[in-house]
């Protein structure tokens, strides 16, 4: 089993990994424990490839070279969210 499949959020954390919204139980902007395989945000502009929300600086987020790795993580996050309903 991959590390991202067994990832659990901190107790009391209301941060929605899929949307990037919600109340965090810590003072970090992003979850510091989030496995890389679940990160669906563009490292350049923070466009959310899971929801399609954000302001893509490049104008073409579905083919942007900066987001290639994050786009590949969408399936992992969808699988994780389905297994860990809020």
Q: What is the pTM of this model?
A: 0.86
Answer whether 38's CB lies under 8 Å from 20's CB. no
Give me the number of domains the chain comprises.
1
State whether residue 41 is helix, strand or coil. strand
Q: What is the pLDDT of residue 6?
A: 93
Token digits of residue 75: 């399936």
User: Which residues of the chain register pLDDT less than 50?
Assistant: none
Q: What is the pLDDT of residue 69?
A: 96
């Amino acid at each position: 089993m991959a590390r991202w499949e067994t990832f659990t959020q901190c107790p009391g954390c209301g941060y929605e990994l899929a949307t990037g919204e919600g109340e965090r139980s810590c003072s970090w902007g992003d979850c510091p424990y989030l496995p890389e395989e679940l990160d669906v945000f563009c490292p350049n502009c923070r466009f959310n490839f899971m929801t399609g929300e954000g302001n893509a600086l490049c104008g073409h987020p579905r083919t942007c070279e900066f987001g290639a790795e994050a786009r590949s993580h969408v399936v992992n996050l969808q699988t994780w969210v389905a297994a860990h309903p809020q």
